[in-house]
Amino acid sequence: MVGVEFIEIQRIILDKSFNFIHMKISLELLQILDAIDRHGSFTAAAAALHRVPSALSHAISKLEDDLDLQLFDRQGRKATLNEAGRTLLDDGRQLLHAASELERRVQRIANGWEAELRIAVDAIIPIERLFPLLERFYDTACSTRIRLATEVLGGSWDALATGRADLVIGAPGDMPARSGISSRKIGRSQLVFVVAPSHPLAAHPGPIPASELRRHRAVVIADTSQELTARTIGLLDGQDSLRVPDMQSKAKAQIAGLGIGSLPHWLAEPEIAAGRLVVLTLEEPRPALDLSIAWRNRQAGKGLAWFLDALADPASIAALLRGI
């Protein structure tokens, strides 16, 4: 990264089993430790890093030999970080983050294109709808790497506020009061309220009151906010709920008769046509939900500017929001 192959880490570790140690490790070794911890095994980490497991094992063994200590507790094929390994990784992640930020800053200063652009798409929009836009972006032959993620409800805004994303597409509701964030409304989502044909509410005559809805379990997607207050849609006070990780899981849970709730038209209509879901009318219809694109504006580079320009095109927005 930016011509730096090694970082000298002068750190004193006080532990019951060893004395003061002077360590010299590479960013690559920190990345390996990070991958092993995140993915749970040497094999999974190797796959994520596009390397063979033996190469990772050799690198870690050499590091342990150089430091004259063990970083992992090994039991058979299972290896977990011990206290020394955890300390090294926790502090090492700060170095990895700092090096990554340095790389982005240098690249941006050099040519105006970000080294990496992190785009979060709210779960209400199928992420594959972004692919045609990405194809056009890659045709520019820029060197910016794209990292896609899915967020849910307030998690879209939270991703910007906490720095997990540079651009969010489909952020629902109102923007929180945070400096350094700009937004632009791109449309509205009118969800459809559906249940399985076998669900008791399917036979309810006429529009359904909130008092009746409250008696039945709602299927909701878990908000992905980490710092901002989590949001919910359509969940009544005192109503039981089943929380699922994504929109597809929500649809499957409702098809299985596990609960009630609203779905976007693109997801509900095929199931309605197949007879796996039925539409219900509510006494108090759910209001349409504003959707926005939002971005961090303090360090905008050419990549972010390209996407903001592309997302100003009505045809691009229409393709993203079809059936939303």
CATH fold of 114-188+290-320: D-Maltodextrin-Binding Protein; domain 2 (3.40.190)
Identify the pLDDT of residue 18.
37
The answer to whether residues 50 and 37 touch, using CB atoms and an 8 Å cutoff, is no
Name the band, by pLDDT with cuts 50, 70 and 90, for residue 11: very low
What is the residue whose two structure tokens read 């989590």? 230
141 phi-psi bin (left φ>0, alpha ψ -120 to 50, beta other) = left
Domain range summary for the chain, segments of one domain joined by +: 6-109, 114-188+290-320, 192-287
Identify the pLDDT of residue 187.
92
CATH fold of 192-287: D-Maltodextrin-Binding Protein; domain 2 (3.40.190)
* Same fold for the pair 6-109 and 192-287: no
Structure tokens at 229: 């207050």
pLDDT tens sequence across 260-291: 999 999 999 999 999 999 999 999 888 888 99
Question: What does pLDDT average to over the chain?
Answer: 85
pLDDT tens sequence across 176-226: 777 678 899 999 988 999 999 999 999 988 899 999 999 999 999 888 888
Identify the pLDDT of residue 108.
63
Pick the CATH number of 6-109 from 1.10.10.10, 3.40.50.2020, 3.60.20.10, 1.10.1280.10: 1.10.10.10
Name the band, by pLDDT with cuts 50, 70 and 90, for residue 300: confident
